[in-house]
Structure 1
């Protein structure tokens, strides 16, 4: 049975530590992957990293889908990314709003590469090398930052532009989708 994990918040120093490479894909890691997917779904996240739940491993989940926090997110299957890295990126960066399960009730604008070529092992140990674009590329870069001990607040150019969730939704003139 899946377990919803506790998500660490900014005051926890473990969020600022660099994660260590995963050296073995075993049953313990598979359980962590399942619990991360479950936690992201239950907390309306579109991604979550192992360090956010206190596990200092280079692992995260990208799980884009429309939800209360991201009503316009594209739909994709939750994907475990083990020992991920960016191997190439576009010249263009785009500014976009980000939030974080570890930084509740805050949104900020962050510049990210528009397109990235990435490499990671999937949960079966297969090496993958896709090109990610747009919002999914943003999620990957946000989660990769967590593996380096960085949170999106560190990348916000002007902290005065930070918004609460309510201010963010009022500014983008949309109403969050309801839970289904």
Structure 2
């Protein structure tokens, strides 16, 4: 009887461990990112205590099972180039903010929006076509091969925190 109880107990533990591993594999982009909004910016940061831009993307992709370097220019060397009109949630978007080279990265989350760790504001989402700053500095996008990203979903807008950028001006005719 004792052996049977011990066997059932061990089988239960193994099943629980397998369930946890499966749950980790099924993290979606939205689930990972939604817990990080408001995390402060920290130079060279790569944890929930604070992120720089590439530390943030590295943290998110690590949770999705993809290893990235902690440098935006190095991340730009990975994946397949994606045209701006073909962006999908999970694509990395890159910017030249220093006037010389790739110096900022974020993650496209759909509806013309990307999430990133911005100096002075931390993890926020911002419109990619922000005419005052980000649109002018956009360099390109890359798509990484990750099974979980194939099932990426557009985030629930109620949970997302929109960056308080300057208001968009209507398009001139």
With structure 1 as the length reference, what TM-score do the two structures score? Answer: 0.23
Larger strand fraction of residues: 1
- Which of the two has higher C-alpha Rg? 2
Larger helix fraction of residues: 2
